[in-house]
Each structure stands twice: as C-alpha cells, then as structure tokens.
C-alpha cells in the first residue's frame, strides 16, 4: 500500500476529537495562528458543541472559522449546515462581515456540483471557502508535514533528519541524552545571521 493510502486509511480511523486536534495543528503549521478551539474540551480530545469548531483571529481584525467532520453519510448536507451555522450571528456572536474565510476539513469526497454550490454560497457573502478533504489532507501530511503522521496517526514517515526547529526541540528534548539542565526551551532560542568580517 502506498504512503498516501496508508495515511488515508489512518485518517479514516480517527474519531472526531483526534481529527479536530490534527486539523488545528495542521492549520497552525500552515500559518493560522491565534487559535481558539471552541469545539474542544480543554486538555482532552473530546469535542463539545460550538460554532465554529475553531476560530482564528487574523491580523486584519477579521476572523477565519474552521469546521471539521469525520461524518461520511450525508457529508455535503453536513458541511452546508456547518457553513450556515458559521453565518448565524446568534450562534457565533460575530457578523458575517467580520468573517474572511471558512475552512472545512473533512474525510470524504464532494461532487463538483456541491463544491461549486458551497463556494458560491460563501462568495455571495464575501467569504473565502477552503475545502480540505481526505485527498488534500493526506497529500499535505505526506509531502509537507510528515511529523503529523507520527504524532496523530502512529505512522512514522520521516527519518527525523529534516524537522522544523520546534519539532526538533520537541522530539530531541524528550530523549535520555538531554537532561533538564541541557534542554533548551523554545522561548530561549534566538536565531541570527552570522556577522561577516571583511
């Protein structure tokens, strides 16, 4: 079985809370910071009712909402309902004019007709829609964020030779060859360009 198919298979095994944690991490690594995981219980992988599942405050003063689902049956209706709830100010407390993007992560497939319908539904309200299905997520994990496969899917893909600075610190500060005195906290690492003398 190819790597992408292994990732897909593992993604399809996830329950809702773990899938939501993976997606939050994936989005954070893609540059969505200031995460507010409204749909998660603190310190657990259990989901709670809330709209949106996650809210990102953006530097321009607007918000990006994200919704996640592992549901397979009636997937397109579920996604449309989730998007409608995002535009319901009585549920979110946020006007649709303050929403710049809605991100949907799901473990299924949508028809071209449904994708176009959902995209138009959001565009009519001036909101960008980003749909990230099983294919998109699995390829991104395989090609850009293999550490997520190990962390959330128990499927190691990389050799540990190419890691982001934060992933390197997380991985190697846990091993026996580092003591609490030699471990370097992330906050204390400062990278600078070496000075060149002429």
Per-residue pLDDT of the chain (198 residues; tens, 9 = 90+): 688 999 999 999 999 899 999 999 999 999 998 888 887 677 666 777 889 999 999 999 999 999 999 999 999 999 999 999 999 999 999 999 999 999 999 999 999 999 999 999 999 999 999 999 999 999 999 999 999 999 999 988 765 555 666 666 766 676 555 555 555 555 554 444 444 444
Backbone angles phi, psi at 71, to 5 degrees: -65, 140
**What percent of the chain has a predicted confidence (pLDDT) above 90?**
65
- Where do the structural domains in the chain lie, given as residue ranges? 3-158
Cβ count within 10 A of residue 134: 17
Beta-strand pair 128-132/63-69: unpaired
Ramachandran category for residue 61: left, alpha or beta (phi over 0 → left; psi -120 to 50 → alpha): left
Matching residue, tokens 């998109």: 136
Tell me which of 3.40.1350, 1.10.760, 3.30.450, 3.40.50 is the CATH number of domain 3-158.
3.40.1350
pLDDT digits (tens, 9 = 90+) for 140-183: 999 999 999 999 999 887 655 556 666 667 666 765 555 555 55
Interatomic CA distance for residues 193 and 198, integer angstroms: 15
Tokens at 135, concatenated: 């294919």
Interatomic CA distance for residues 170 and 173, integer angstroms: 6
Cα distance between the two ends of the chain:
55
Q: Are 83 and 104 in contact (CB under 8 A)?
A: yes
Beta-strand pair 63-69/99-106: parallel
């Amino acid at each position: 079985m190819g790597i992408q198919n292994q990732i897909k298979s593992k993604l399809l095994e996830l329950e809702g809370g773990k899938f939501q944690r993976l997606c939050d991490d994936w989005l954070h690594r893609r540059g969505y910071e200031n995460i507010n995981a409204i749909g998660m219980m603190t310190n657990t992988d259990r989901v709670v009712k809330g709209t949106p599942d996650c809210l990102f405050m953006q530097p321009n003063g607007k918000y990006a909402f994200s919704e996640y689902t592992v549901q397979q049956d009636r997937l397109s209706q579920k996604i449309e309902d989730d998007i409608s709830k995002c535009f319901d100010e009585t549920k979110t407390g946020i006007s649709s004019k303050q929403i710049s993007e809605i991100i949907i992560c799901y473990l299924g497939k949508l028809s071209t007709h449904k994708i176009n319908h959902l995209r138009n539904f959001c565009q009519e309200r001036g909101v960008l829609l980003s749909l990230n299905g099983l294919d998109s997520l699995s390829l991104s994990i395989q090609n850009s964020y293999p550490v997520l496969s190990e962390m959330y899917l128990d499927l190691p893909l990389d050799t540990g030779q190419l890691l982001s600075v934060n992933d390197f610190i997380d991985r190697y500060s846990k091993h026996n060859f580092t003591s609490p005195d030699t471990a370097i906290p992330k906050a204390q690492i400062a990278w600078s360009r070496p000075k060149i003398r002429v």
